[in-house]
């Protein structure tokens, strides 16, 4: 998030009770996250009592990377604002076949 964590750390200070009346106005926010999942199913009926159902489920269809929120501990200047990993999981697919009788 920041090229120089120590320089970004020096721009912040501990909140002072009574002086900082609205601490939410300068809140640090994390990275935006969103995900797209999908399910496709098809039912094939053979007669009144027998039916075959095919199911395909996909998590993270776009397979895009969402990074974790940065480390924002104002007591640790060396790691302030450093992003350490990935928030979401890679794409996963599940296939299913169900026979109803």
Q: Specify the higher pLDDT residue, 24 or 78.
A: 78
Mean pLDDT of 70-82: 80
Q: CA 40 to CA 56: how far, in whole Å? A: 5
Global pTM exceeds 0.75 = no
Give the pLDDT confidence of 6-51 residue by residue, as tens digits: 887 787 777 777 776 665 656 667 788 888 999 999 999 999 999 9
Distances (CA, A) of 79 to 15, 65, 74, 101: 20, 22, 9, 60
Mean model confidence pLDDT for the chain:
85
Q: Specify the higher pLDDT residue, 52 or 14.
A: 52
Would you state the pLDDT for residue 27? 67
């Amino acid at each position: 998030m920041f090229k120089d964590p120590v320089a970004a750390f020096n721009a912040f200070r501990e909140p002072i009770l009574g002086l900082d009346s609205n601490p939410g106005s300068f809140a640090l926010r994390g990275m935006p996250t969103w995900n797209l999942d999908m399910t496709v199913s098809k039912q094939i009926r053979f007669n009144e009592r027998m039916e075959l159902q095919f199911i395909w489920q996909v998590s993270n269809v776009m397979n895009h990377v969402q990074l974790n929120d940065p480390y924002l501990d104002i007591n640790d200047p060396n790691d302030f604002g450093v992003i350490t990993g990935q928030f979401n999981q890679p794409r996963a697919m599940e296939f299913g076949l169900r026979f109803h009788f």
